[in-house]
Structure 1
């Protein structure tokens, strides 16, 4: 069997195995097969440049062995091949073990034809609880992985064993990344394909710190589509590939690229960026990827909400705690109660008659209600299938009845304490938040579908004059038309700033 056939065959076997699973079971296991083109793309940069006669390759979440096969394929295609390769395949799912044994035989036969001695060790069990993962002993020259994706409790044995990388509720893929960072030999290569959520947020802060203390990030590739990288699996994840090596000098650069999916994978543009522009210098060490859209870089703007005396808060009403005030039907005592489902791009739609969308306004509930005045309201979570990260709308004073209104806890809102947001500011800021420029920026700095207040507080903003100009032009426009208004306004301000 030819080497490329071995990789493709491993993928087909994996897809056949996962298709026998119920969707809920596959999601619970977090098991999704890496397409061969992605596996080869990952392995190309994983092949060590320096010649070594003996190498060890580790896949800690082998699945059907696609990534391992691609890595061995790359090593055996080198002009100077290693004489000896040790391949370690770890897999928890017992149904994959027969497939891995067949793969091992095919790889050994192929290696023999190439004059390479290949030994394969298949370890059936939980990698994170294995002696290998817990030893912190550098054993591998190449580590390549597509780990499972699902959250576990902090009390889970795996989280407790890897507590150095845990804060709050961890996602298991972050533990795989952290554990493998300790297993890499000097000048070794480490490559993972994962969701992008690890790049920011408090839950991954300990994991990032551990990762950056042990590894140097060499390159990153992001997939802009949530669906076009795992083509045969129904998965909605914003994925990225990260390549790293053992700790290097801090002044090195990072290669950053992106593609929509598989079709343009090899045609993506490359950015060569200083490491200190990719990893934020604050305690959380968040990753910040390039944010250019049509030549516009939001990081060039230095203002934030705080500069304009604006504040972002989370909707104060937790529905089950306010149950005695929430009503299915309106009365003389109630005011509108907005859930995130009421918020659309540039519009508030109320009522929708699918929620308990009224709340009693009296002295007892007053603390959880907000003034009926100009503001921007938005969803805290964007639908996974939505192309835009932010769903925001201007709320104009008096649009709904009552002196106050209710905002449910899955919403955020922007207002000016002790002052008024003008209508042009509310419309302009909502249009800016919904725009393609901001969408690209937030996808780069926020790896999940939650829009938290911290991201919004840090979001770079143009001048208030530009926000008001956008607001005077954007009402009633489609998203594509809003994109054109926002990008033209930002480009004009950028030119004026550079000419000054």
Structure 2
């Protein structure tokens, strides 16, 4: 049964055009998620609570917080709420939603239109830290490097690439010491180079207390068909970092809710300069973390991983549908499957070859053995890491190969790998243990070369042994056999 607020929110959300939602980055928070977020705030509150809802929408988040106050779980004697909402069309409903709490809680509220980023920067520059609590579902939208928002953020020491991370960073600066922030945001900030400054900022200014992970990408924001993998995070301003509670559920029903406590060095590894944020989904360590043999970096092994250098739209005039004289094979993710390599691929929408000339040859590799990993997996795909071996005999006497930009390529100083090393590396990458370990810090469909670089690998000799076994087995390997081989070598 939907509450009156939920019914109104749906009525407002459904007719809102996709273009407008994209422009504003606007996705209303489902009631169950709002209630869960409100439940994460520790009790009791101090006598006076100053609450920020940045991007308030129709008021579902603030209402969930105020309902918890009214229930006696959060016993503030005085609540002052600042609700920022850029979209004036929802202000009337926001006012009605908040007004209904005035007879249940000691509430004063202000609805503020206009630009939250500008208002927050002005407040921070005035030296004020004004909020004890914040609850937010910030907008999701990229910020261009030369935009007004980017320049404003830099004035207060924030360097970030998306509105959601900008809202969280500004909120932290607006919080009083020990202030509590609960936000639902995309998981994309947990890894990758673009969000490194934001991760540094968060870890400098706050302690991570709780992370909740939804197992399904599709179900947290069903009404808006949001496909980002979202997490809910609770941060505490200016406090020392301690252990972190990690909870999980499949969707916003929370019917299979589970919770675990983890030491912080399981969340951010002490020796990781990139400060990737890992989200373990159980207390058990997987095979890779338990194995003393899987402890080598790619640099230790003399192996490099790079993004495929052929960007097809930049070299469009040099591409051709099928191989012909004077061309080199061009490989896309679509040429690979678990069944092997299909090249050339007749009827493919993608080209199968690239002309060799002075403009293109600098992007090509010698024909040899390589291991490749697709950079993108499909939504809700079971595996994030899908690796394949490139065998030189598939291309007859072609001296050079092209690798398109949607592939990651393992090589040795821009030369090929030995056959056994390529097969062994591919086998290891395709283990369930590797995929599970990778997913602990990567929550989006993209697999970057940087992400693969920070993973740990077996020794070169162990990879070669795995490669010999894989080559002897031929095409008969199942996932169970691959995983058992890794366990056998670790025992």
Secondary structure in 2 aligned to 1:99? Answer: helix
* Deviations 1:298-346 (CA, angstroms, capped at 9, x unpaired): 2343123333332212222222443443223432222321123333346
Residue 349 (structure 2) pairs with residue 360 (structure 1): no
Residue 372 (structure 2) pairs with residue 374 (structure 1): no
Distance in 1 (CA, whole Å) between partners of 2:360 and 2:474 is 33
* Deviations 1:234-282 (CA, angstroms, capped at 9, x unpaired): 11111111101122224x2111222332344552241x22223322444
Alignment CA distance shift 1:232-1:475 (3 Å): farther
Give the TM-score of the pair, scaled to structure 2: 0.88
Secondary structure in 2 aligned to 1:367? Answer: helix
Match of 2:323 in 1: 330
Residue 396 (structure 2) pairs with residue 403 (structure 1): no
Residue 332 (structure 2) pairs with residue 339 (structure 1): yes
Alignment CA distance shift 1:423-1:465 (3 Å): closer
Give the TM-score of the pair, scaled to structure 1: 0.87
Alignment CA distance shift 1:475-1:94 (3 Å): farther
Residue 345 (structure 2) pairs with residue 389 (structure 1): no
Secondary structure in 2 aligned to 1:429? Answer: helix
Secondary structure in 1 aligned to 2:251? Answer: coil
Size of the aligned set, in residue pairs, is 478
Match of 1:464 in 2: 463
Distance in 2 (CA, whole Å) between partners of 1:156 and 1:127 is 15
- State which of 97, 102, 109 in structure 1 corresponds to 2:96: 102
Uncovered stretches (5+) of structure 2, i.e. residues with no partner: none
Distance in 1 (CA, whole Å) between partners of 2:53 and 2:162 is 19
Q: Which runs of 4+ in 1 moved over 6 A?
A: 291-294
Match of 1:448 in 2: 444
Deviates more, 1:449-458 or 1:386-395: 386-395
What's the offset of the Cα at 1:29? 2.0
Q: What pairs up with 1:232-271 in 2 under 5 angstroms?
A: 232-250=223-241, 252-264=242-254, 267-270=257-260
Alignment CA distance shift 1:290-1:61 (3 Å): same
Deviates more, 1:276-285 or 1:444-453: 276-285
Alignment CA distance shift 1:117-1:18 (3 Å): same
What's the offset of the Cα at 1:291? 6.8
Secondary structure in 2 aligned to 1:107? Answer: coil
Distance in 1 (CA, whole Å) between partners of 2:137 and 2:421 is 45
* Deviations 1:134-175 (CA, angstroms, capped at 9, x unpaired): 5452222210111111101122222211125654x7111000
Q: 1:216–1:245: 8 Å Cα contact kept in structure 2?
A: yes
Residue 195 (structure 2) pairs with residue 195 (structure 1): no
Q: 1:141–1:188: 8 Å Cα contact kept in structure 2?
A: yes
Uncovered stretches (5+) of structure 1, i.e. residues with no partner: none
Match of 1:121 in 2: 110
- State which of 161, 164, 168 in structure 2 corresponds to 1:170: 161
Distance in 1 (CA, whole Å) between partners of 2:6 and 2:147 is 31
- State which of 287, 290, 304 in structure 1 corresponds to 2:277: 287
What's the offset of the Cα at 1:434? 3.8
What's the offset of the Cα at 1:220? 0.9
Q: 2:83–2:109: 8 Å Cα contact kept in structure 1?
A: yes
Match of 2:262 in 1: 273
Match of 2:429 in 1: 433
* Deviations 1:360-400 (CA, angstroms, capped at 9, x unpaired): 23566432211222111222233334332223222122113
Match of 2:10 in 1: 15
Alignment CA distance shift 1:340-1:287 (3 Å): same
Distance in 1 (CA, whole Å) between partners of 2:471 and 2:65 is 55
Distance in 2 (CA, whole Å) between partners of 1:346 and 1:441 is 24
Distance in 2 (CA, whole Å) between partners of 1:279 and 1:295 is 15
Distance in 2 (CA, whole Å) between partners of 1:293 and 1:422 is 38
Q: 2:431–2:482: 8 Å Cα contact kept in structure 1?
A: yes
What's the offset of the Cα at 1:52? 1.9
Match of 1:30 in 2: 25
Alignment CA distance shift 1:427-1:78 (3 Å): farther
Distance in 2 (CA, whole Å) between partners of 1:135 and 1:486 is 60
